[in-house]
Structure 1
């Protein structure tokens, strides 16, 4: 699922749009012209308004430059959906419409008559419900359309029509002119984001560890332009994640124009601009120290400042990032080396060793063993402090400057491994190709094979990855036993992901059987490998001691960060195998924190995938959605294709089969195409949960049987309770009893409440009388001692259903009511509706929820609802939130509609999401 568009800040702009929408919903009309430079966020604001206007009719058009010379082309696009109403117009107006749109021949219609016709059409369309007309890129509308829409905009009064134009402002870098047709209409200037919001947008869309000084410079140079920030977050990650990248010297019309202006400046001024462009930090003190070494002073900066190309104050800031690129491109190679030497000398006096070495490397004219060694040394320091991308850049340059072939190979492999964690797959493959061209020994050849396999797995998942990694482990075993065992862990992880789709010889049994006995004292990673292998070959009880040692060892901080990044998901899975919720969450949190801190994007994707599932089992849907946006951003940055398992469970929670089933079917097909059997498992499990919530027990049984087929260790165990419940409810008693017996093999020997609670619930479902009652009560008691809100609510639901059928209505009501409230709070609408039906059968009165849920409330609606529920007046709420009392009332009307209530009194009992949260 794609991430939602990011709208950072913009409180004032959103409030203006909300107020205009409120007027229209109250029966008035409103017009607004959004003006701003390209990329300022006008389109995003229109998208925001469209989302807010959910109860309105939407008409949206976008101006196209190629249609500038086609009269009424854009107007026809706007009016086409409502042309059926043209038959009701007066004859002159109907004729004008027909001729303008080519439906009849005749003299060109007068602008006044045509304008009145369009005004009448829009007013007629707004009779049933308010009409919101969004006109994007209005500067590219044909003149005839602009004239008509300008006429209409000035005559809207009480038609319940909102007309919003987005117009690119003319400027010295464009060929646009003003639009007189829109002059005098209410306007809203869309400037760049405020500094804090711009920095937040850059941080949110650039996964990894940003260099603060580089980020500050880019925020200043883009002047907060959202599009420029988003483009740099995707194309300039190497620079943002450490500053160890040279400015782009690509081509483009705007950059070429800047370059021409720079080449027209005096040579000393050009050199000064080149110096500023070569320093990614914008540090003015560093800049002037370096300038002095080049014999340059403040007088050389004057022509550039007068040309408004650069500002030099407390920091050095170009007027636009492309000016920086143009300044660097305008310098010849010798001049570039000179400014980098000067910056290296200035950095030495400033105490920034990494920056000094980087600039020396940029100034190097050929291989330099001493400099290569120093680069490798500072790269190790960068990685230990969490700068994976910076370490990769430094190591890559170190390898390029290295003379000794053996060292060159080692540094290239180290750089490729860091680039792999940073998610730069193209660089990994390029560096491996260079390494292969060198005289590698057997161990280095095996390591190249390993890194290539890890890259393929990270980028594509794949059915062939486990077998390839298993072959790499076999090649490594006689050369480096420790690395071979680590590679077997990689193969085990790949086999888990490939699941039933793995090629022969690459499935979990094959990888587990290939694990050699350990010689020497085991590390936490050794315990992890032995425990996971035993889990598959000998069962949960056999693997439990080693898995417990592994989880304890990793959580005791006795394991290097690189192994955490590499095997953090397996550590979490080990805790899951033990039914150790606390260990599961702690291991995953540690993995995610280390990956975020280091900008290790590939490990972060894996950690976030697990973290979302944990959040959902805790019932924290809001946090799971936030994590989903982060996961999507990181995947986009790396180009990783991997299923997002949290998405599947969100679909199951919502209980909307018409929307969920096609998406789950599509996701299953995509997982199959990638060779990702684990993705298939999660779509099947989510499908089973969806049908369980809806009471479709035969369908749930079929999906749960597929999910529980084979052996995916902890994941198979998690699917079995679903199968027991679905099979019992669909009358497949034998299937339920078999699943219960299989579940017992995974929980046997466990002393933790999660597994024992689910085992007790499954046992209760297949039991009768007193034994069922005792088992249900045990399940509720055990799961109440965990933080697994979803499993506890499900247990209360099935217990309440059983109690009702046993005619214990009061006790049933108690369990069912608690289950219903929990499901509502979690947004598990399907299960909530199932609980509601059961409550009704006990005689309890329960309000039916509307299609919109509490989770559909926007953050501001939810905030207003909470404050109103606390007894504050509209004026008090408005004063605190900096909005009008009327806007508060508008928000409350939306809240009432979504929650299916009509008054503040009912709001007191309405289900809102619980305060957050897990972190």
Structure 2
């Protein structure tokens, strides 16, 4: 009663699911406010929907995937329908297989696919009560699925209690339960305790403040005997105090056995009774609690009627009794299937440092790591550290805990544990790893420069003893310093790399040589390019296999203008990351891939990669990478309005991430230039070419700066940055753009030869060639060579239209109108792929390559039904009716 509005919202949730639209709702509120009751009502309203239920258990918050096991273990026979990598990862997580651990995001993707599979024959309702107690690994998997469901008949509902653990409800629909209104509360009290006097009832209503459980429990307590004056009712912890009084009325033996139930996480009556027997308790001791309604026996299970009863029972017990109960439970939980629970009970029973128990927890941490539960790994290693008997053993375990916390996306915990380990240990290796973890957290939390500073400090500690690990740290340092535009830190990293003793033919030696060469840019381009290219080639041939090193090598390929080969390498890396479920890496790969596609002129492909990266990075909380990908999105030219809308978010971080900001400024400058605002473009591009990111891929902005300067009537400024650019272009054999710049600056008829040279050198780079044709056409028009101008301008307009460079296509049309041409349909106007969203385009391209909906879903971490939904929307836009037509359409365009 009194929940009509909330029930209406949740009825809409079920209706959407039945109509094939996925939605997720989080019901939040204080203890006893009616979350569980509302969940029960949703289940009752589900009708013939399939219902999957789970409940967070406080005693199992540190057991990796215990919640997911509870919910999905009954459907283990459906795992064969999942893509191979996903099936293996989820089997490992659920304890159904012994395969390698999956990336936590791969397990989330597998959860998404399995839920979609369960909804294939009828709509699915997924209910999770007390989600604040769900183990982190399970919660991560379920929330990943919730945020990426779209066109599946699935409704997900979580309940979360206030004041316990913050629930990560970002991006989800939240229903906040308030207390019942006075009338509904009065009706509830009248139903439970009709004999209360008016003063007592009114006082009860005041004290309960509309909390349904408080109303019920207090009404039952007061209505169990005739009363005229209840006396003062408890103000704080109303419901808990009622439960305390009811527990206090029980025999001591019953309270002790209830403590066993509270400390146990299995709900297994046999386990409870065996542990109770070890404490001298009998099965009959449970009977008074059952008669009072505090516990419910259901077959071989025993559980508390409400989670608060468990909390009060455990929290109010004397410390020595809790220790005894955990010891008894550890003694009766035998076998490998209970090894983790046994380890945690032993830890709870420990009264001081205990190396044997610490070793048990360390083994539990390794088992959790094999299943992919990084948060559980961190918790087990941290508890093992607290029980360690030696400072160095404690520090070592703390470092493992910090690394696992970082992998689990818990940066605050990682920093705290790493700092403690660094303070405790006298071993350079331990201190270096702790410093490195703090550095990686600093990238996201503070700045890339802070990351580089810490990584340099860590690498210096082990430069002599572990040079290969030092290279890994210095790779982080140099690349973060690059992002920060901190050239002094780049130099420090390069100098330290040069002092390392590495096997000449090792992968790390190739990485070190490539980074040392990078430090010579831009002035030493001739000497820098060959070793940088050697690093890139080593990644292409598989001689460099580390994920970080390969991503950087792909970027290095772009820095030395091997754009097509670098893009091919990054395409392969993205495919591998999708296949392996390495979602944490994918946004970084997609950033580099999108830049590569931009440089090749594949603007739509860049748009698709950016959209995918942005979606993933937002879903998994990679805020810095969201900013980086937005910087790439601003550089795209298909939608100037959307690009400009993204720019402020990127530019706001210019002081911390100048490279991202420069990329966005380059994009804005190009939008200005295409729109005829040459002075504005010159101002923006001058900031890019003179700023701290000028040594990077942003050196490619120099020709645009030169064009803006000439068009703004400042040819004197056009030469400002050309010497460094020409040196880079000569070293990379990239001659087309310098030829275009020479044409812009040449006097008289000399420009024509340079334009023709540039067009010949562009080769298959359609975008760069179109930019040159536009300039050449404008030059020809000014020379009154109208027919030749029309030819070049028409070719430029059509190329821009095909590529999706709307601003440049409009500028070419404007030039043609000056020649007297009326706007006419161009080749690009008929391109049906222009009508697709980036997500639809990506799905269509994969479908055209012959992938099934299930395979596309595995690539893009979407459910197969969502893939089908995108195709359903795309078909009428592009004028096809059958899947087989897609291959021809994509190849034709």
| TM-score normalized by the length of structure 1 | 0.58
Distance 2:136 2:529 in 1: 42
- Could you say if the C-alpha distance between residues 261 and 372 of structure 1 is closer, same or farther in structure 2, counting changes exceeding 3 Å? same
Q: Is 2:724 the partner of 1:745?
A: no
Q: d(CA) in 2 for partners of 1:583 and 1:622?
A: 18
Q: CA deviation at 1:223?
A: 7.2
Query: For residues 597 and 808 of structure 2, what CA distance do their matches in structure 1 show?
Result: 18
Could you tell me whether the CA contact under 8 Å between 2:635 and 2:668 is conserved in 1?
Answer: yes
Equivalent of residue 6 in structure 2, options 22, 26, 36:
36
> Which residue in the other structure is 1:720 paired with?
702
Match of 1:237 in 2: 136
What residue in structure 2 maps to residue 128 of structure 1? Answer: none
How does 1:591-630 map onto structure 2 within 5 Å?
A: 606=588, 609-610=591-592, 613=595, 619-620=604-605, 621-630=607-616
How far apart, in 2, do the equivalents of 1:795 and 1:388 lie? 50
Quote how far apart the aligned CAs of 1:492 are. 0.7
Distance 1:741 1:651 in 2: 27
Shift of 1:441: 4.4
The number of residues matched between the two structures is 675
| Structure 1: distance between partners of 2:568 and 2:238 | 54
Select which of 674, 679, 694 maps to 2:660.
679
- Separation in structure 2 between the aligned mates of residue 643 and residue 312 of structure 1, nearest angstrom: 49
Q: Secondary structure at the match of 2:498?
A: coil
Matches within 5 A, 1:298-317: none
1: distance between equivalents of 2:705 and 2:767? 17
Between the aligned partners of 1:44 and 1:416, the Cα distance in structure 2 is 41
The Cα shift of 1:528 comes to 1.6
Partner of 2:776: 802
Judging changes above 3 Å, is the alpha-carbon distance between structure 1 residues 525 and 258 closer, same or farther for their aligned structure 2 residues?
farther
CA distance in 2, matches of 1:339, 1:915: 69
Correspondence for 1:834: 811
Show structure 2 runs of 5+ residues with no match.
Answer: 17-26, 57-61, 74-123, 143-159, 166-210, 215-236, 781-786, 848-864, 866-871
Deviation at 1:497? 1.9
Alpha-carbon offset, residue 681 of structure 1: 1.8
Equivalence for 1:16: none
User: 1:97 — aligned with what?
Assistant: none
For CA contacts below 8 A with separation 6 or more, give which structure has more relative contact order.
2
Matches within 5 A, 1:562-573: 564=547, 567=549, 569-573=551-555
Q: Deviations over 1:692-739 (max 9, x none)?
A: 343323322332232233565442334334334434544555655665
Aligned to 1:875: none
- CA separation of 1:830/1:362 partners in 2, compared to 1, >3 Å: closer, same or farther? farther
Residue matched to 1:647: 630
Q: How many angstroms apart in 1 are the aligned matches of 2:649 and 2:314?
A: 47
Aligned position for 1:113: none
1:88-107 CA-to-partner distances (Å, cap 9, x unmatched) read xxxxxxxxxxxxxxxxxxxx
Cα offsets for 1:102-145 (capped at 9, x unmatched): xxxxxxxxxxxxxxxxxxxxxxxxxxxxxxxxxxxxxxxxxxxx
1:515 to 497, 501, 522: 497
C-alpha contact (below 8 Å) 2:570/2:592 kept by paired residues: no
SS in 1 for 2:604: coil
In the alignment, does 2:375 pair up with 1:389?
yes
What is the aligned partner in structure 1 of residue 689 from structure 2?
Answer: 708
Matches within 5 A, 1:480-499: 480-499=466-485
1:846–1:451 Cα change, 3 Å: same
**Are 1:773 and 2:756 matched, yes or no?**
yes
Asked if the contact 1:551–1:571 (Cα under 8 Å) also holds between the matched residues in 2, the reply is yes
Distance 1:510 1:288, change over 3 A: same
Per the alignment, do residues 251 and 168 of structure 1 end up closer, same or farther by CA in structure 2, a change over 3 Å counting? closer
Q: Distance in 2 between matches of 1:466 and 1:170?
A: 44
**2:679 touches 2:709 (CA, 8 Å); kept in 1?**
yes
Alpha-carbon distance in structure 1 between the residues aligned to 2:888 and 2:300: 46
Tell me the equivalent position of 2:394.
Answer: 408
Deviation track 1:640-662 (CA, whole Å, cap 9, x = no partner) reads 65761221343454677777657
Deviation of residue 524 (structure 1)?
2.1
| Residue in 2 that maps onto 1:109 | none
Q: Aligned residue for 1:149?
A: none
Q: Does 1:542 align with 2:527?
A: yes
What's the CA shift for 1:687? 1.9
SS in structure 1 of the partner of residue 335 of structure 2: helix
Mapped partners of 1:273, 1:596: distance in 2:
48
For residue 215 of structure 1, what is the aligned residue in structure 2? 68
* Counterpart-to-counterpart distance in 2, 1:306 and 1:553: 72
| Structure 2 contact 526–731 (Cα < 8 Å) conserved | yes
Q: Secondary structure at the match of 2:654?
A: helix
- Counterpart pick for 1:845 among 819, 824, 827: 824
Tell me, yes or no, if the aligned pair for 1:624 and 1:646 is still in contact at 8 Å: yes
What is the distance in 2 between the residues matched to 1:656 and 1:376? Answer: 53
The equivalent position to 2:557 in structure 1, one of 558, 575, 578, is: 575
Indicate how the Cα distance of structure 1 residues 844 and 607 shifts in structure 2: closer, same or farther if over 3 A, else same. same
- Measured in 1, the distance between the counterparts of 2:413 and 2:626 equals 24
Q: Alignment RMSD, CA only?
A: 6.1
Q: Does 1:477 align with 2:463?
A: yes
- Change in CA separation of 1:459 and 1:400 when aligned onto 2, cut-off 3 Å: same
User: Measured at CA, do residues 725 and 858 of structure 1 come closer, stay the same or move farther in structure 2, by a change above 3 Å?
Assistant: same
Q: Which residue of 2 aligns with 1:173?
A: 33
Report if aligned partners of 2:455, 2:476 keep a CA contact under 8 Å in 1: yes
Gaps of at least 5 residues in structure 1 are 1-32, 47-166, 179-186, 203-208, 784-791, 867-881, 883-890
CA distance in structure 1 between the aligned counterparts of 2:530 and 2:642, rounded to whole angstroms: 44
Distance 2:541 2:364 in 1: 28
Are the structure 2 counterparts of residues 405 and 259 from structure 1 closer, same or farther at C-alpha, using a change threshold of 3 Å?
same
User: In the TM superposition, what is the alpha-carbon distance from 1:818 to its structure 2 partner?
Assistant: 3.5
Q: How far, CA to CA, are the matches of 1:393 and 1:630 in structure 2?
A: 26
* Other structure's SS at 2:389 match: coil
Change in 2 beyond 3 A, CA 1:585/1:291: farther
Query: 1:36 aligns to what SS in structure 2?
Result: helix
CA contact (8 A) 1:242 1:389 kept: no
Contact 1:540 1:745 in 2 (8 A): yes
Structure-2 residue corresponding to 1:13: none
What SS class does the counterpart of residue 824 from structure 2 fall into? coil
Where does residue 524 of structure 1 map in the other structure? 507
Cα distance change of structure 1 residues 692 and 686 upon mapping to structure 2, 3 Å threshold: same
> Is the contact made by 2:377 and 2:404 (CA closer than 8 Å) also made in structure 1?
yes
Question: 2:417, 2:357 → 1: CA distance?
Answer: 20
Q: 1:744 to 1:458 in 2, by over 3 A?
A: same
The residue number in structure 2 matching 1:205 is none
Q: How far apart, in 1, do the equivalents of 2:290 and 2:637 lie?
A: 58
Post-superposition offset of 1:772: 2.0
Change (3 A) 1:384 1:168: closer
